[in-house]
Structure 1
Amino acid sequence: MNGLTSSAPSQSAIRLTVSGFLLLAVQSTMLLMSPSLGGDAGTLIWILTPLAFSAFVAALIGIPEPPERHWRQRHGR
């Protein structure tokens, strides 16, 4: 997968970026709606923040894709 820093980013990189930012937006909305930050909300925020950050980093770097015909290789022939 071509990352966002390449000249032609792949569709997967763009989807990862959008999903990461949506996770951050949900987290921010939950914080703004909460009058006081409870234990459950804090746990959810600690889960969503690294997930969103890792999606953004994966989108920037790019994840290697397997070859197209990797499932068609025959063994022993």
Structure 2
Amino acid sequence: MNGLLSTTPSQSAIRLAIGGLLLLLTQNLLLLLLPTPDQGSETLIAIMTLIAMAALLTALIGMPEPPRKHWRLRHDR
């Protein structure tokens, strides 16, 4: 998978970046709706922040693609 910083980013990298940003927007909405955050909501917000940051970093860097299997390399029969 090509990362967002490459010249041709892949679709999955773009989807990861958008998904991470949507998670951050959801977190901000939760913060705005709560009058006083309690321990459970702080934990939820922390977990969502970690997931969103991991998605954004994965989208920026890109994941290594699996090696192609060369079926024609085997010439002995």
TM category, shorter: 0.7 to 0.9
Q: Distance in 2 between matches of 1:23 and 1:58?
A: 15
Shift of 1:21: 0.3
Deviation (angstroms), 1:10: 0.2
Superposed CA deviations along residues 31-71 of structure 1, whole A, max 9, x for unmatched, are: 0000000111001011011110010000000001213548x
Q: TM-score, normalised by structure 1?
A: 0.85
Q: CA RMSD in A?
A: 1.7
Match of 1:40 in 2: 40
Gaps of 5+ in 2: 72-76
Identity among equivalent pairs (%): 53
- Secondary structure of 2:19's counterpart equals helix
Structure 2 length-normalised TM: 0.85
What's the offset of the Cα at 1:18? 0.4
Unmatched tracts of structure 1, length 5 or more: none
Give distance in 2, aligned partners of 1:5 and 1:26. Answer: 25
| Aligned counterparts of 2:65 and 2:12: Cα–Cα separation in 1 | 10
